[in-house]
Chains A and B, each alone.
Chain A
Amino acid sequence: MTDAETMLLLARWQFGFTIGFHIIFPALSIGLASYLAVVEGLWLKTGRRVYLNLYRYWVKIFALSFGMGVVSGIVMSYQFGTNWSRFSEATGSVLGPLLGYEVLTAFFLEASFLAIMLFGWDRVGRGLHFASTCIVAIGTLISAFWILAANSWMQTPAGYELTDGIFTATSWLEVIFNPSFPYRLAHMVMAAYLATALVVVGAASWQLLRGRVNEETRVMMRMGIPFLAIVSVLQLIAGHAHGENVLEYQPAKLAAMEGHWEPQRRAPVILFAIPDEEAETNRHVIAIPEIGSLVVAGDMDAELPGLRQWQREDRPPMTPVFFGFRVMVGLGVLMILLGLAGSVLLLRGTLERSRLFQRACVAMTPAGFIAILAGWITAEVGRQPWTVYGLMRTAESTSPVTADGVGMSLTVYVFTYLIVFAAGAYYMLRIAAQGPDTGEPEPTTPALAAWVDLHPGAPREGIR
């Protein structure tokens, strides 16, 4: 490999590594901010202490998540320049204002009102505190709006003019609301909500498994499970619509996702295979014949693309895209099943007693994040070899820096992130495991817990 090729590879690893770590935290922050706003709203409306306890419990985890999102996000905002300066130069006049608006409309808003959320309890009134929580929640969504508009424009560029290698906008509405943007925004925001719901339900289940049956865990389960059931199904619909959009605008990505080498009508749905990129074929295939075109395009006779339609230098690598897609969809299906099973238990009134289900919830706690990462691999590796789809190659986007420099900084980032984010994950898990402060004596044995479960309204002072 030449130095430029090594540099490109290391720069891509650096971007993938840093954004992979980063995306976890904003996803959790988006979900938790909205959850906290709902919980605080319920507290103000009902005056029930359980909602305040839940707020105080989750806001600690939110603060950690937000802090880690901020520091890992600053890395991203400078990496466009350090490793991808030719890309920055070419796209600055289109993407720059979008990112600028993210800072002006979201980052300042979140940072300022976060302060009131975390430290303002004694300094502002309840109404203003609630308003701050809502503003932070809205801020996280505004942030998602802009960054996904920028990402979507790179995937499906529109409203631009390309002169001498520099992109300029001809229509800002077309730039922002480019063809893949609405689908990506809906898909990503729901992914963040789902990942958070799984965390909430997982934490509540952990408490239940430890015999800590209280109003707080009960509320977490009863809010989380129906939410999971509904949103996971909506996510399936949004994901499918996004897939149709990929078929239309990024057919090579779709071919890699589906594992198709040849274009075909009545294509199979490939459940599993080992793609062989050299021989341009799949090995160990498990597939359902005939129905692929129907599933993807809604028409048995629709022709699905095959990767061999493109020159090798214009193709994404199939293996990561193919497996990333399957991991994401597989986890999505598990989420739907978890939501359904939980809803059935909820209707039967046995949600707090089914230990098997609670164990499944604990096991699924990280599933949302894994699905998000798998989805990002599908979307971003599937977009290769382009940074601006079909217009600017990844290899033409790099900075005039050496492979040594990129490799060195990558090494430093890996060490830094491992120390910092391992510690952060540890503190989050520890807080989550402690459970919410219930503000009343805790039942000390499973038998007492069961008794409390059956007598939710009974006073608890005497049951120790």
Chain B
Amino acid sequence: MESALPYIWAGLLVLAVFMYVLLDGFDLGLGILFPFAPEDEDRDVMMNSVAPVWDGNETWLVLGGGGLFAAFPKAYAALMPAVYMPIGFMLVGLIFRGVAFEFRFKARGAMRRFWDQAFHWGSVLAAFAQGLVLGTLVQGIALEDGRYAGGMFDWLTPFSFFTGWALVWGYALLGTGWMIIKMEDELAAWARQAGLLAAAVVVTCIVVVSAWVPMLDVAASARWGIDWPSIDWERLMPLVPIPIAVAVTAWVLFSALRRPHWTHMPFIASVVLFLLGYLGLIVTFYPFIIPYSLTITDAAAAPNAQALLLAGAVILLPVILGYTAYVYWVFRGKATSIAGYH
């Protein structure tokens, strides 16, 4: 049991981070799309549609950070200094967009426009910064004696900039999927148009990243059996279903975006696309928790710490998922501009 604990925790963190990406992804995406909506009233509708749920969505990020600290303190201690500045950008972005939910409805005139901008740029910055962290992880983090040994700007590469940019589009795609479910008429139609653009960019980004990683001289490509120009087919073949599934999902996504009566499929297909990308990352990183220098077992907290929190997580996570689902159910149906801020 003790030897399985680190892997169970790694699995739970994978779940927490995915829940975060999925849930805060669409509400960050809404912030990214915010200024492009056709009418000012549309912005009220967009904000109202996520106002009840954004806080709960963001709590998964705290669970991800807190869970990493609790279950893998060494990994938490090694990672945070390595992505010091991107984390700072993310936090500042989240502050501005988070308070905008409350402030926007209390401000008038110029200040209201200021909080509109804060909501948009805060969302963009948070998404971009999370993409920077992702790019930094793919490139790998150098540790010495289990501690971060690099500089303050090691995260700053063309590749991480690209993954940052790609994640902004990715969240925008999730945001359009949410809007197609929650909005009506012209706004839903607009979201479908925006979704087509975002989907095209996201699929392109997936292709570009897949081609770019083998060219980076990092361990990531070796895990896929690619050491350009030689390819280890035995390693690559079992993984081929992932890119095939990506292609199929992309096709479903584009079809769904063009069919007005498919209201839920664009969101579901976007989520599956994220899930597949996520699966690709797991394949790339496993068994490392800090790629490619610290493994899941090496970073694990004391077994009694992991066991104590696991006992709580096993009981409480289903309860949390239950009442989270309940809140989404309470606020089901189409969003409106007047459904009233308290």
Query: Interface of A with B (CB < 8 Å)?
Result: 56, 59-60, 63-64, 67-68, 70-75, 77-78, 80-82, 85-86, 88-97, 99-105, 107-109, 111-116, 118-124, 166, 168-169, 172, 399-402, 404-405, 409, 412-413, 416, 420, 423-424, 427, 430-431
Interface pair A420/B69, CB less than 8 Å apart:
no
Chain B window 138-158, contacts with chain A (Cβ cutoff 8 Å), 1 for yes, 0 for no: 000000000111011000000
Given contacts A74-B58, A400-B148, contact A93 B73 (CB under 8 A): yes
Given contacts A71-B99, A92-B73, A97-B305, contact A104 B313 (CB under 8 A): yes
Complex interface: chain A residues within 8 A of B76 (CB): 80-81, 85, 88-89, 92
User: Chain A interface: which of B33-41, B100-108, B171-179, B214-222?
Assistant: B100-108
Complex interface: chain A residues within 8 A of B242 (CB): none
Interface pair B52/A71, CB less than 8 Å apart:
no
A409 to chain B, nearest CB (A): 5
17 interchain pairs, CB-CB under 8 A: A67-B55, A67-B99, A74-B91, A81-B81, A82-B84, A88-B69, A96-B69, A96-B305, A99-B69, A102-B66, A104-B312, A108-B323, A111-B59, A114-B55, A169-B305, A401-B84, A420-B96
B184 to chain A, nearest CB (A): 18
A197 to chain B, nearest CB (A): 23
Chain B window 301-318, contacts with chain A (Cβ cutoff 8 Å), 1 for yes, 0 for no: 110110011001100110
In the bound complex, CA of A409 to CA of B149 (Å): 20
Given A71-B99, A77-B66, A104-B313, list of 6 further CB < 8 A pairs?
Answer: A78-B65, A78-B80, A108-B59, A111-B58, A172-B308, A402-B151
Q: Is the contact region of chain A dominated by helix, strand, or loop, or is it mixed?
A: helix
Question: What are the 8 A-B residue pairs with the smallest beta carbon separation, nearest first?
Answer: A92-B73, A96-B70, A81-B80, A115-B52, A89-B77, A85-B77, A93-B302, A111-B56
Given contacts A77-B65, A88-B69, A104-B316, contact A82 B304 (CB under 8 A): no
Given contacts A70-B98, A81-B77, A92-B69, contact A400 B147 (CB under 8 A): yes
Say which residue of B77, B149, B308, B342 sits within 8 Å of A97 (CB atoms): B308
Closest to A59 in B: B342
Residue of A71, A94, A401 contacting most chain B CB atoms (<10 Å)? A71
User: Chain A interface: which of B162-170, B198-206, B270-278, B324-332?
Assistant: B324-332
Given contacts A81-B69, A100-B66, A103-B66, contact A64 B102 (CB under 8 A): yes
Interface pair B63/A103, CB less than 8 Å apart:
yes
B268 at the interface (CB under 8 A from A): no
Given contacts A77-B62, A416-B96, contact A97 B309 (CB under 8 A): yes
Interface pair A118/B77, CB less than 8 Å apart:
no
Interface pair B73/A112, CB less than 8 Å apart:
no
Interface pair B84/A104, CB less than 8 Å apart:
no
Query: Interface of B with A (CB < 8 Å)?
Result: 51-53, 55-56, 58-59, 61-63, 65-67, 69-74, 76-81, 84-85, 87-88, 91-92, 94-96, 98-99, 101-103, 106-107, 111, 147-149, 151-152, 301-302, 304-305, 308-309, 312-313, 316-317, 320, 323-324, 326-327, 330-331, 339-342
Interface pair A82/B63, CB less than 8 Å apart:
no
Interface pair B95/A420, CB less than 8 Å apart:
yes
Say which residue of A102, A104, A115 sits within 8 Å of B53 (CB atoms): A115
In the bound complex, CA of A431 to CA of B102 (Å): 12
Interface pair B342/A119, CB less than 8 Å apart:
yes
Interface pair B51/A119, CB less than 8 Å apart:
yes
In the bound complex, CA of A89 to CA of B302 (Å): 11
In the bound complex, CA of A97 to CA of B306 (Å): 7
In the bound complex, CA of A67 to CA of B105 (Å): 13
Complex interface: chain A residues within 8 A of B330 (CB): 115-116, 120, 123-124
Interface pair B92/A412, CB less than 8 Å apart:
yes
Complex interface: chain A residues within 8 A of B331 (CB): 115, 119-120, 123
A22 to chain B, nearest CB (A): 11
Interface pair B95/A409, CB less than 8 Å apart:
no
Complex interface: chain B residues within 8 A of A67 (CB): 55, 98-99, 101-102
B156 to chain A, nearest CB (A): 13
B315 to chain A, nearest CB (A): 9
Complex interface: chain A residues within 8 A of B312 (CB): 97, 100-101, 104-105
